[in-house]
Amino acid sequence: MTPGLRQFSLDSFLDRSLHMIRVENLSKVYRSGDVAVVVFRELDLVVREGEQVAIMGASGAGKSTLLHLMAGLDRPTSGAIFYRNQDITSLAEAEMSQFRNREIGYVWQQHHLMQDFSALENTMMPLMIRGGDREAARHQAQTCLEEVGLRDRLHHRAGELSGGEQQRVAIARALAGEPSVLLADEPTGNLDEGTGEAVFSLLTRLRQKRSLTTILVTHNTGFARSCQRVLKLEKGALRPME
C-alpha cells in the first residue's frame, strides 16, 4: 500500500470512529394498493458523537418517518442505519427492543404518559421494562425528575400536571435509561411559545451536560438555528439549510 493511500484510509477510519449515527442509502416506500408512495430514496446522513442536529421540512416530507427509522420503530425498505458500527436494521425484533431501551431516548410531540400513574412511576417505566432493581429505578427516576425541575411534582399523577410539566416528565423518562442518543419529534409542538422556549432550553442544557447526540425535528426556525447543524428534508433529500 502506498503511503498516501494508507494515510487516506487511516484518516477515513479515524473520522468514522467519531460517528454516532450513520445512515446509508436509506429508502422508505409505502404501498397503497398498486401505487408506490415514496417517502425518500437513498438518503444519507452522518451525525457525529455529541452533535445536535435539527431537521426541518414541510409537513408530510418524511421527517417523523426518518426519526422512527433511526429509533428502530420502523424498518426501511432498503438501506442501513449504523449506531457506531452496529447496523440496527439487521437486528431481530427482541434485539431491537433491547437496543432502543438502552441506547435511545425518544421524546414525542404527544407526551404519551400514563395519566393515572405518577410522574415518578412514568419515569421509572423504561428501567422497570429493562428488568432493573425497583429501588435503583426509583432513585434514578427521581434524579432525572429533579434534573428537569420537577422535584415537587414526583407523586402527582400525569393528569394533574400542566402540559409543560408533562413534557418535562417525558424528557425525564427518555433520559432515565442514560441513552447515548436523544431523538425528539416536535417536542415543543403542543406548547405555548413561552413554555416551548423553556422546554427547548432544557433539552439544550441536558444535551450539553450529558454529552448527548441529539436529533431534533422541528418547525421552529429559531430553535433549529440554535442547533449546531440544520438540515432540510425536501423532495426525499436532506440538504443543509441556507
Question: Does position 3 have pLDDT exceeding 60, yes or no?
Answer: no
Please write the tens of the pLDDT for every residue from 75-124. Answer: 999 999 999 989 999 999 999 999 999 999 999 888 789 999 999 999 99
Instruction: Examine residue 127 and state whether it is found in any structural domain, yes or no.
Output: no
**pLDDT for 17:** 55
The CATH number that applies at residue 33 is 3.40.50.300
* Average pLDDT rounded to a whole number, residues 205-223: 91
Instruction: Examine residue 170 and state whether it is found in any structural domain, yes or no.
Output: no
Contacts of 111 (CB under 8 A, 6+ apart): 158, 166, 167, 169, 170
Please write the tens of the pLDDT for every residue from 215-232. Answer: 999 999 999 999 999 999
Question: Does position 16 have pLDDT exceeding 80, yes or no?
Answer: no
- Residues constituting the chain: 242
**pLDDT for 82:** 96
Instruction: Examine residue 134 and state whether it is found in any structural domain, yes or no.
Output: no
Question: Does position 5 have pLDDT exceeding 80, yes or no?
Answer: no
**pLDDT for 15:** 55
Instruction: Examine residue 146 and state whether it is found in any structural domain, yes or no.
Output: no
* Average pLDDT rounded to a whole number, residues 56-74: 93
Tell me the pLDDT of the chain averaged across its residues. Answer: 89
Lowest mean pLDDT among 9-23, 71-85, 167-181, 221-235: 9-23
**pLDDT for 235:** 87
Q: List C-alpha distances in Å: 230 to 47, 52, 67, 151, 225.
A: 11, 9, 15, 34, 7
**Does the predicted model carry a pTM greater than 0.85?**
yes
Question: Does position 12 have pLDDT exceeding 50, yes or no?
Answer: no
CB atoms inside a 10 Å sphere around CB 241: 14
Number of domains the chain contains: 1
pLDDT category of residue 7 using cuts at 50, 70 and 90:
very low
Q: What is the dihedral of CA 127, 130, 135, 140, to 10 degrees?
A: -30
Write out the residue range of the structural domain in which residue 50 sits.
20-114+179-240
Instruction: Examine residue 87 and state whether it is found in any structural domain, yes or no.
Output: yes
Instruction: Examine residue 163 and state whether it is found in any structural domain, yes or no.
Output: no
Please write the tens of the pLDDT for every residue from 114-161. Answer: 999 999 999 999 999 888 789 999 999 999 999 999 999 999 999 999
What is the maximum alpha-carbon separation in the chain? Answer: 67
Instruction: Examine residue 32 and state whether it is found in any structural domain, yes or no.
Output: yes
% of residues, the chain, pLDDT over 90: 68
Instruction: Examine residue 123 and state whether it is found in any structural domain, yes or no.
Output: no
* Average pLDDT rounded to a whole number, residues 185-196: 88
